[in-house]
A and B are shown apart, each in its own frame.
Chain A
Amino acid sequence: MQIDLLQEARRQAEICNACRYCEGYCSVFPALHEERMFTDGNLTQLANLCHNCRGCYYACQYTAPHEFDLNLPKALAEVRQDSWETFAWPGPLAHWFQKSGVLIAVATIVGFALLFLAFRALGSSGGEGFYAVLSHSAMVTIFLPAFLFPLFSIGISLRRYWRATDGKSVKMSDIFDAFVSAARMKNLAGGHGDGCNFEDEDRFSQARRLAHQAVMYGFLLCFASTSVGTLMHYLLDMPAPYPLWSLPKLLGIPGGILMVLGTVKLAYLKLNADKDLGAPSAWGGEMAFILLLFLVALSGLLLYGLGNTAAMPTMLAIHLGSVLSFFPLTPYTKMAHGFYRLAALVRDAQRKSKA
């Protein structure tokens, strides 16, 4: 990991440790105040506990032009970003995609192209609905590795994270604790429940928390919808397309709508927030990732709407193409943050139960 980024985070953490005024904002501070010297592992863990709510920046009496030049959200964002690049496997991919919106766009276009080529070359071999465009077995052949590979890759990354942060063997109670806090996005409430400072300097608002919840739950609903669909296909021999009053649609449509609304709001917030309180170099990559998620969700919804029209094959290519770039990029884009965040929360639960 980059020494200068760690060194800057260390300098700031030492100031916070002498101050402690922000102790109530989030779980970073109680963890920070337990140390006296900060190892690289400590800082990596603190960085992944921080979700860039910015409360501690606007509350800080030592921000520039003060000579102490505190900007903890930025210092931690830089270390966090760097840690994701360091732990990713294969490493160089993260190095490219985390920071580059252009590369994410290129990957998405490659995804479309692959799908069109597949339609052309493989075709339907006599299926119905979507499978008239591309056969079910061809879809599985393409998407199964695209789905399994990132899981494997993330597994390696998390192991690396765990080693670096000196993690202990995981207990059920640690995991439970972590999931409860993630599900409520407790930390994004800002300690006092008024939200975070993302939109308009020191004004607290719930916007980012709500938008993020919408995307997260929307994504989980869509994921559940696909999983249910897969089970129905294999176990019940009920292939897609499904009618409105079916489980895949009842999960997928609200999920898609939540994702669309949430990503639009997140993109809007990101445009308004001060770039210099995050990792500025990663801004483009993060924004492209939000837009890719938006595209996945919107094309999914449109596909449902246009399923019986001539536009369907094109829509299908766009949807599947964006999904095809989204999944393999997971370990190398902002999408990885969810996994690291959970790991950091589990690690923090271990710290708390020890203390």
Chain B
Amino acid sequence: MTITCDIAVIGGGNAALCAAITAAEKGAKVVILETAPKAYRGGNSRHTRNFRCMHAGPLDPLVDDYSEEEYFEDLLKVTAGKTDEKLARLAIRTSEECLPWMQEHGVRFQPSLSGTLSLARTNAFFMGGGKSLVNAYYRTAEKLGVTAFYEANVIHLELDGDAVRHIDYTHEGEAKRLAPKAVIVASGGFQADIDWLTRAWGPAAQNFLIRGTPYNRGVVLADLLEQDVQSVGDPTQCHAVAIDGRAPKYDGGIVTRLDCVPFSIVVNKDAERFYDEGEDVWPKRYAIWGRLVANQPDQVGYVIIDAKSLNLFMPSVFPPIKADTLEELADKMGLPAEKLRNTVESFNAACGDTSDFHPTELDGVATSGLTPPKTNWARPITEPPFYGYSLRTGVTFTYLGLKVDESAQCSTANGPIRNLWAAGETMAGSILGQGYLAGFGMAIGTVFGRIAGREAANYAN
């Protein structure tokens, strides 16, 4: 079967769908090429929960206001200045009109989830999460005449001078070629290609877990970089957090998150502590622990808590390992028992007055004379039963991406590529050079997906 179309959108997540819908509304004939089977369509977007949105006054479901300046400052804090200000401000400013657009196209919001009240002002939560958003967008796109092909894996874009001539892809195993007038790349990062990660990061990456889809393998990204399309972002870096070590290799998603580190001690496989577990509140330290664990032998950490701390954090998907003595716990977790006891005892001995303990604030309840110290929430680990979790590095996304301008257009050193646009994770490095701000990934994808869809449709029409 040969398919004809004006615009081919590569990818089937949030950015791809926003682009396809926008282009179809402008009258273009659009196809979506999604490499995943239907059951797994939607890339990392299916794992998301919220959208960070600027707003001048209450904007259902968001309360109060969240100004461009405040949003931008929040972004600067996490990226340490590695931000393209022009594109970042464009994303921030446009996010406000996106929210009603999302609602008009089937997305439904809910009040912020229990346990995330601190985000009620800044982040709008999708009812049912990202998969319901993706479902709604596919329904809307279908109604607009967009055709979605699943198991359609794009392997090559033929770049000839300043234009893409055709796309090579396989569909349900068969080789296919398509020559659309315009192409939008929205196929995410490369974090699911462990070999690439290993080349970039080093052998430790073999032991990383991938929090999202196994289908974002960077095939299109690599193909375009090979043809000297301009890139942006540190090619060796990825965003990683510490997650439950028992999580599946791919697609474990949100439920593998562990929030217990601040109330614990964390040791490596030699039962030695290696970092201040109480440095800051967990949402602010979530990401650095991904790196810390990545630097330990075998890229694994072990969280140890006792009975009094068990109910202080959000439950996670796997129950903790439980034991009546530290020796038994060490045994069950494969740690040297004698060593663990010593580590816990010297930690306990370094704990002081715990009467100011306060689980949700920096309480200053610290150890003294211990290296590394624990500077908050330091309570001795004494009350059986004892509980343990293993920790591994969970990769969220990679930073390397396609460089785009304000109209989401890609370019080579010789100037813009006439008929190629990019949106979402695959160009997020243009804005986010380092760190991550909750809800910003979906904001980038929605804003630039819509821009790319509009520009591509204007070109194709």
Contacts and interface: CB of A to CB of B under 8 A. Distances in A.
Nearest to B316: A18
A203 B139 contact: yes
Contact of B251 (A14, A58, A59, A66): A66
B139 A61 contact: no
Nearest to A19: B255
A33 B127 contact: no
Contacts of A203: 139
Nearest to A203: B139
A17 interface: yes
A33 B319 contact: no
Interface stretch (A21-29, A96-104, A327-335, A344-352): A21-29
B113 interface: yes
B300 to A, nearest CB: 21
Interface hub of A14, A59, A192, A194 (most chain B Cβ within 10 A)? A59
Contacts of A130: none
Interface string A39-64: 00000000000000001101111111
A15 interface: yes
B145 interface: no
Contacts of A56: 128
B125 to A, nearest CB: 8
Contact of B114 (A14, A30, A59): A30
A62 B316 CA distance: 15
B461 interface: no
Interface of A is mostly: loop
Contacts of B126: 21
A36 B314 CA distance: 9
A191 B255 contact: no
B435 to A, nearest CB: 24
B49 A14 contact: no
Interface string B242-272: 0000001001011101000000000000000
B132 A58 contact: yes
A19 to B, nearest CB: 5
A177 interface: no
A65 interface: yes
B4 interface: no
Interface residues of B, number: 33
B111 A61 contact: no
Interface string B173-203: 0000000000000000000000000000000
Contact of B127 (A25, A64, A67): A25
A58 B131 CA distance: 8
Contacts of A275: none
B127 A191 contact: yes
B47 A61 contact: yes
A163 interface: no
B138 to A, nearest CB: 8
B135 A59 contact: yes
A259 B442 CA distance: 46
Interface string A176-218: 0000000000000001101000000011000000000000000
Contact of B110 (A23, A65, A67): A23
Interface hub of A23, A55, A63, A64 (most chain B Cβ within 10 A)? A23
B129 A17 contact: no
Contacts of B233: none
B131 A59 contact: yes
Contact of A18 (B46, B311, B315): B315
B317 interface: yes
A59 B110 contact: no
Contact of A194 (B108, B113, B114, B315): B108
Interface string B31-71: 00000000110000011010000000000000000000000
Interface residues of A, number: 32
Contacts of A36: 311, 315
Given A30-B114, A191-B110, A25 B128 contact: yes
Contact of B113 (A20, A59, A61, A68): A20
A25 B255 CA distance: 19
A15 B255 contact: yes
Contacts of B132: 55, 58-59, 202
B283 interface: no
Contacts of A23: 110, 113-114
Contacts of A202: 132, 135, 139
Given A15-B317, A18-B314, A33 B251 contact: no
A64 B49 CA distance: 20
B319 A14 contact: yes
Contacts of B380: none
A66 B214 CA distance: 12
B39 A24 contact: no
A59 B128 contact: yes
B129 to A, nearest CB: 3
Contacts of B128: 21-22, 24-25, 55-56, 58-59
B254 A14 contact: no
Contacts of B108: 191-192, 194
Interface in A55-89: 55-56, 58-68
B209 to A, nearest CB: 13
Given A20-B114, A21-B254, A203-B139, A61 B317 contact: no
Contacts of B111: 24
Contacts of B315: 14, 17-18, 36
Contacts of A17: 315
B130 interface: yes
B114 A33 contact: yes
A194 B135 CA distance: 14
A351 B131 CA distance: 30
Interface of B: 39-40, 46-47, 49, 108, 110-111, 113-115, 125-132, 135, 139, 248, 251, 253-255, 257, 311, 314-317, 319
Query: Which 8 residue pairs across A and B have the least CB separation, nearest first?
Result: A59-B128, A24-B110, A21-B129, A59-B132, A18-B255, A192-B108, A202-B135, A18-B317
13 contacts: A18-B257, A19-B253, A19-B255, A21-B113, A21-B130, A22-B129, A24-B110, A24-B127, A25-B128, A59-B128, A62-B253, A63-B39, A68-B317
Given A58-B128, A61-B46, 6 more contacts: A14-B317, A18-B257, A21-B129, A24-B127, A67-B248, A191-B110
